[in-house]
Amino acid sequence: MAAVLLSFSCNDYLNLSQHPAVIAAAMEATARYGVGAGASRLVTGNHPLYGALESRARRAKRQRSMLRIRLRLTSPNAGIIPALAGPDDLILTDELSHACIHAGAKLSGAAVHRYRHADVADAEALMAAHRAGKRRALIATDGVFSMDGNLAPLAALGETRAALRCLAPVR
């Protein structure tokens, strides 16, 4: 009998690559669109899947329009966090968040504080201690922590975000 092994060195945290629905969707997409990595809009122009994704996200968020931006693993670093915060702002990050979140927070020029992992009370205490005089505040976190596989307390962070009137980008 073969041993059951777990891989902790890949990006397939939830083992979705083996899920029958994911495999079926991949086979259908391959038959329809072919294989290959393709390229970004910048390089090769628009692709029908980009528009379909943006349309679905737009409807889910009840918005008039939506533009998908993908900057590889650096998306929170190079695009999202520095676009949301600057030198007059405050950013709180979970201490175990991906390095790109911490790098994006630092790149923004905002005051940055790390709260204890998944500790909403610590985030609230840090917000209370450092929020005064800041134009905007963010609580940035991973949704799923890649090294441990545990989930962020998003519902509780959402309540905190609403109560403290701050933004909460999730990677």
**Reported pTM:** 0.63
CA–CA gap between residue 141 and residue 152 (Å, rounded) = 7
pLDDT of amino acid 154 = 86
pLDDT of amino acid 106 = 92
pLDDT of amino acid 31 = 95
Nearest CA-CA partner of 110 in 128, 97, 92, 122 = 92
Residue type, 116: R
Per-residue pLDDT of the chain (171 residues; tens, 9 = 90+): 788 776 666 777 678 889 999 999 999 999 998 887 677 777 777 888 888 888 888 888 777 877 666 655 555 556 788 888 999 999 999 999 988 889 889 999 999 999 999 999 999 999 999 999 999 999 988 888 877 778 888 888 888 877 767 666 666
Report, in this order, helix, strand and coil percent for the chain, each rounded to 5.
Answer: 45, 10, 45
